[in-house]
Amino acid sequence: MNPVTVQNLSYRYPGQSAPVLEKVSFTLDEGEIAGITGPSGSGKSTLLRLLAGLEEPECGVIRIGGQIVADERRSVPPERRGVGMVFQDYALFPHLRVADNIAFGLHRRPRRERRDRLAQMLELTQMTALAGRYPHELSGGQQQRVALARALAPAPALLLLDEPFSSLDAELKGGLREELGRLLRQARITCLLVSHDRSDVRAICGRELALGGSAGDDDAAARRIVDSVRVCRGKAGDASQQAGRIAESSQ
Amino acid sequence: MHATKAAAATASRSRQRSPGSAGWQYFVRHHPFYVMLVPGIVYFLVMKYMPLLGTVIAFKDYNIFKGILASEWVGLQWFHQLFTYPKFLRLLENTLLISLYQIVFAFPAPIVLALLMNELRMMTVKRIVQTLVYLPHFLSWTIVAGLVYMLLSTQTGLLNGLYVSWTGNAPIELLQSADSIRTIIVSSGIWKEVGWGTIIFLAALTGIDPSLYEAARIDGAGRWRQFLSVTLPGLLPAIMVLLLLKLGNVMDLGFEQIYPFINPLNAEKGDVFDTYTYVAGIKGGQYSFTTAVGLFKSVVGFLVLVLANKASKAATGEGLY
Ligand SMILES: Nc1ncnc2c1ncn2[C@@H]1O[C@H](COP(=O)(O)OP(=O)(O)OP(=O)(O)O)[C@@H](O)[C@H]1O
Ligand SMILES: [Mg+2]
């Protein structure tokens, strides 16, 4: 039972003739951290938006946690999909303190649970001391940790990260990559990360899914997830073999 | 004080040691910008600062034939006359009440309208609605008052005509009644300016990062919570700035907006400083006295603005300056 299964997913933006994604298929394993790479404009962000429920697919099926969240007929709204998302620019609420940002998605839970979960998330991301600050009073790396804590707080089945390092400078990035990888493994969450930089993916992810799309490629094939089953960490070995099969079967 | 001046002087002298002073070189290098500055400075000097000198007549007994300089000094006589004027409190009350109604009803109106228009999804509909609501702004206040007369007048008013023919009662005297005049002034003002006022809020709304809405949606925020936690905080800076500017103008209601509605039957509740200065100053020739009234209004407005700005900074951290 895979927590995330995507089959023959196609999408085009309204009013556009060419599809952004065409027949994309892949699966993720429980607790797997996978990375999507691809050139700019290849549809990486679009794929994450489809998984999160911010866009509805043209055709194809998305299953998250055993439940069909999107197919031709239905589309489950984002809040009931059990996904968390870290946006490219973090999208922290500027007028809320760190603690309130993190607790934003917990407002329906009982107060006690909310408090415990908040404390747990602050501790996980080592933000306890800064819980009373506003986002503009934080460094880029701290903002990223807050965004991560906010996405993880409601305990989603799947975590999506869009270009988590794009707004950080190269020097900061090195250390943060390690730290993010450690945090994600510690949180034991199934995770899909997008980056245009393959070294990010190699540093953090167990598997790389390449989204093609360079102009020269054959059209249909280019928009699928083509290949790239790369093992970066011993842990993810099994997953990679399986993914290889799935990637091939989607061709 | 002296020490800092001396330090500044030595600093500038040491800068000047390089051949041709640095400040001058900077000026020469960027001279096109200084040239561009000239019309702006001239405008402010001629249109804003020179008339300011004219306010000295508030402290003189100004006589057109003698001129400003030759007129006699009278000190605070005009202010004394203003504060002991029997209708002073009535003018103050009317001015502040109409201002208050404008802040309570007219100020939020464009915000609400902008929020509603922001929900329109079809671009063509949105454009048409925008154009329609902007139009009344381009009418003069006199024409707006004319429209109100055509609706409410007891003899020819459309609404009154319908009312009489449907109920058989006598027409309602809205324009002649002191009780309804403030409502009529404020609501016709809303009708004229509400659409125009949306422009700044619509711009502020487009400035809100859409990923904030998406993040809120993923976290299960419904429309109302999205409004409270994304839209409203995004609009708050614009709202605060405009509210502060409005507060700075509490005493200025705009003569043109009110004067066409004032008649002897409703003047008791409709007369404000602006209309009074016109009647006493321009028609009655009491230039010094009405200048004193104007100066009084400006000083009050200035004080309110300073206080409101302080309060706003203490409460939200945002202010005009
Ligand atoms: N709202 C939109 N309407 C129409 N087309 C869009 C929209 N958003 C994106 N696109 C197009 O869809 C394609 C994929 O966009 P997407 O943002 O998914 O790319 P990406 O892989 O994330 O690129 P990057 O690495 O630059 O972030 C691009 O060609 C883009 O022009
Ligand atoms: Mg992108």
User: Nearest 10 degrees: CA dihedral of A184, A185, A191, A196?
Assistant: 70
B-chain residues near A91 (CB < 8 A): 209, 211-212, 214-215
Do residue A87 and residue B215 have CB atoms under 8 angstroms apart?
yes
Tell me the C-alpha distance between A232 and A177, whole Å: 14
Mutate to test the pocket of ligand 1, among A46, A48, A88 (most ligand atoms within 8 A of CB): A46
Domain ranges within chain A, ordered by starting residue: 29-53+75-242
3-state DSSP assignment of residue A22: strand
Under 8 Å between Cβ of A70 and A61: yes
Q: Compare all CA atoms of chain B with the CA of A54 and give the residue at the minimum distance.
A: B214
Exposed (0-12), middle (13-18) or buried (19+): which is B278, by Cβ within 10 Å?
A: middle
How many contiguous H segments (helices) and E segments (strands) does chain A have? 8, 9
Q: Which of the ligands is closest to the CA of residue A211?
A: 1
Nearest to A85 among B218, B233, B236 (CB): B218
Ligand 1, residue A196: give the atom nearest the CA. Answer: 25
The model's pTM:
0.80
Tokens of B299: 């000083």
HSE-up of A210 (CA within 13 Å, CB side)? Answer: 17
Angstroms from B206 CA to nearest CA on chain A: 16
A51 vs B: CB within 8 A:
no
pLDDT at residue A250, rounded to an integer: 33
Tokens of B68: 């400003």
DSSP for B79-145, please give it.
HHHHHH-TTHHHHHHHHHHHHHHIIIIITHHHHHHHHHHHT---HHHHHHHHHHHHGGGGS-HHHHH
Q: CB B38: neighbour CB atoms within 10 A?
A: 9
pLDDT at residue B317, rounded to an integer: 78
pLDDT at residue A219, rounded to an integer: 42
β-bridge partners, A37: A210
> Mean pLDDT, consecutive 10-residue segments, chain B of 321 residues?
47 51 87 94 93 88 86 90 90 94 96 94 93 96 95 90 90 90 95 95 94 93 93 92 92 91 91 90 87 92 93 84 82
B83-316 sits in which CATH class? mainly alpha
Question: Which segments of chain B are extended strands (E)?
Answer: 60-61, 72-73
Fold of A29-53+75-242: Rossmann fold (3.40.50)
Identify the residue whose tokens are 């933006």: A13
Exposed (0-12), middle (13-18) or buried (19+): which is B132, by Cβ within 10 Å?
A: exposed
pLDDT at residue B32, rounded to an integer: 93
Nearest to A91 among B209, B225, B236 (CB): B209
Estimate the share of chain A in helix, then strand, then coil, as percent rounded to the nearest 5: 40, 20, 40
Do residue B220 and residue A105 have CB atoms under 8 angstroms apart?
yes
A13 vs B: CB within 8 A:
no
Do residue A154 and residue B219 have CB atoms under 8 angstroms apart?
yes
Exposed (0-12), middle (13-18) or buried (19+): which is A103, by Cβ within 10 Å?
A: buried
User: Nearest 10 degrees: CA dihedral of A236, A238, A241, A244?
Assistant: -60
3-state DSSP assignment of residue B248: helix
Angstroms from A160 CA to nearest CA on chain B: 11
Q: Which of the ligands is closest to the CA of residue A214?
A: 1
- CATH 1.10.3720.10 boundaries in chain B: 83-316
Q: Compare all CA atoms of chain A with the CA of B233 and give the residue at the minimum distance.
A: A95
A33 vs B: CB within 8 A:
no
Is the confidence metric ipTM above 0.90 for this complex? no
DSSP for A199-245, please give it.
HHHHHH-SEEEEB---TTS-HHHHTSB-------SGGGHHHHHHHHH
Mutate to test the pocket of ligand 1, among A42, A88, A89 (most ligand atoms within 8 A of CB): A42
Phi, psi of B48 (to 5 degrees): -115, -45
| Sign of the dihedral defined by the CA atoms of residues B147, B152, B155, B160, in that order | positive
A137 vs B: CB within 8 A:
no
Do residue A89 and residue B220 have CB atoms under 8 angstroms apart?
no
B-chain residues near A84 (CB < 8 A): 218
Condensed to tens digits (0 to 9), the pLDDT of residues B240-299 reads 999 999 999 999 888 999 999 999 999 999 999 999 989 888 888 888 998 999 999 999
Mutate to test the pocket of ligand 1, among A10, A12, A13 (most ligand atoms within 8 A of CB): A13
Residues of chain A with pLDDT under 50: 214-224, 226-251
Interface with chain A: mutation pick from B218, B229, B230, B316, highest number of A CBs within 10 Å: B218
pLDDT at residue A240, rounded to an integer: 35
Distance from the alpha carbon of residue A46 to the mean position of ligand 1, in angstroms: 6
Do residue A93 and residue B221 have CB atoms under 8 angstroms apart?
no
CA angle centred on B60, ends B54 and B64, rounded to 5°: 70
B-chain residues near A150 (CB < 8 A): 215, 219
A-chain residues near B121 (CB < 8 A): none
- Which protein residue's CA is at the shortest distance from atom 22 of ligand 1? A45
Fill in the amino acid letter for A163.
E
A228 C-beta closer than 6 A to ligand 1: no
A166 vs B: CB within 8 A:
no
